[in-house]
């Protein structure tokens, strides 16, 4: 019997293994809700923000999730540049 193929590895994907909750939590820790809401003007970040409400919205809204993931990658690049 032939074994099923292995799923493709995501060696080059910097978001691999990160949950959306970890991404949002890191962004809030780094920028705070006010600056996060200025960088990505979403009501879940500006009007009574919380991790839970943000996750609920972002899971339903792919374009918003893309913006959040993009900002996270930008933040990571900036942190790496500041170190070295």
On whether the CB atoms of residues 73 and 30 are closer than 8 A, the answer is no
Q: How confident is the model at residue 46 (pLDDT cuts 50, 70, 90)?
A: very high
Segment 1-19 shows an average pLDDT of 76
User: Taking 70 as the threshold, does the pLDDT of residue 7 lie above it?
Assistant: no
Please state the domain extents for the chain.
Answer: 20-83
Q: How confident is the model at residue 58 (pLDDT cuts 50, 70, 90)?
A: very high
Cα–Cα distances (Å) from 18 to 64, 69, 70, in that order, read: 17, 10, 13
Going by the DSSP 8-state scheme, the letter that residue 72 receives in this structure is: H
Q: What pLDDT digit, counting tens, does each position of 75-84 carry? A: 999 999 998 7
Domain 20-83 fold:
1.10.720
Nearest-5° Cα angle at 82, 50 to 49: 10
Question: Distance (Å, rounded) from C-alpha 77 to C-alpha 84?
Answer: 11
Q: Torsions phi, psi of 12, nearest 5? A: -90, -5
Q: What pLDDT digit, counting tens, does each position of 61-72 carry? A: 999 999 999 999
């Amino acid at each position: 019997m032939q074994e099923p193929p292995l799923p493709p590895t995501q060696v080059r994907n910097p978001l691999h293994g990160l949950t959306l909750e970890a991404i949002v939590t890191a962004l809030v820790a780094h920028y705070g809700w006010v600056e996060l809401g200025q960088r990505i003007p979403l009501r879940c970040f500006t009007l009574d923000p919380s991790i839970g409400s943000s996750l609920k919205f972002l899971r339903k809204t792919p374009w918003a999730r893309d913006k959040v993931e993009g900002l996270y990658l930008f933040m990571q690049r900036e942190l790496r540049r500041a170190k070295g």
